[in-house]
Amino acid sequence: MTARLPDGPDDGPAAELLRARRGGVLTTLDRLLLHSPPVAEGWNALLGALRGATTLPADLRELVVLRVAVLNAAEFEWTSHEPIARRAGLTDLHLRVLRRADATGQPVWSPVQAAVLAFTDASTRDVVVPDPVFAAVREHLDDRQVVELAVLVGGYGMVSRFLVALDVPPSNGEVPG
């Protein structure tokens, strides 16, 4: 299976920025982004910050990424992040439950995970986050973390929509950086 577009050029400053974040490699996703170097550079900066410079604990970050992948049917995103999620402490049970439509109602989550999961579902499915869902997140996260959570959900919504629209096939496992 191949993506709907051919790979973009793999040289130039934008390609080097992506390679630097990815430990020297370019993914299919990167090669598609390189059709537009300014978009690739902005994407790289945003996703680099979301993956490596937020104050959200790794388990919450990966919970969000995987749930967005499920809700938007982005298998590339799931495949790429599942190993990272496991290292962050999500278990086989967590991963199975995340794939369920009613994941938020299952008793496998810590209170902060449940709040973040409800926020992710509301923001991804409906865009509007109801006041009670927002209040539950505020019980656990400070102002910076709330901003990081909202951008994380939106950022990975963007990633999933790009992957699905261009029919990017799943990776063979974790994607670095």
Domain harbouring 73, CATH code: 1.20.1290.10
CA 129 to CA 110: how far, in whole Å?
A: 20
Residue 17 lies in a domain: yes
Same structural domain for residues 107 and 41? no
Same structural domain for residues 28 and 112? no
Same structural domain for residues 133 and 64? yes
Which pLDDT score, from 0 to 100, does residue 3 have? 92
CA 98 to CA 78: how far, in whole Å?
A: 11
Under 8 Å between Cβ of 155 and 47: yes
CA 76 to CA 32: how far, in whole Å?
A: 14
Same structural domain for residues 104 and 162? yes
Under 8 Å between Cβ of 40 and 75: no
Residue 8 lies in a domain: no
Into how many domains does the chain fold? 2
Same structural domain for residues 19 and 86? no
Under-70 pLDDT residues of the chain: 1
Same structural domain for residues 30 and 112? no
Same structural domain for residues 39 and 65? no
Same structural domain for residues 42 and 70? no
Residue 158 lies in a domain: yes
Tokens representing residue 47 in the block: 């996703």
Which pLDDT score, from 0 to 100, does residue 171 have? 82
CA 35 to CA 162: how far, in whole Å?
A: 13
Burial group, residue 30, by CB count within 10 angstroms (0-12, 13-18, 19+): buried
Q: Find all residues with CB under 8 Å of 148, minimum gap 6, and list them.
A: 50, 54, 55, 56
Residue 28 lies in a domain: yes
State which residues form the domain around 30.
13-53
Residue 67 lies in a domain: yes
CA 16 to CA 39: how far, in whole Å?
A: 14
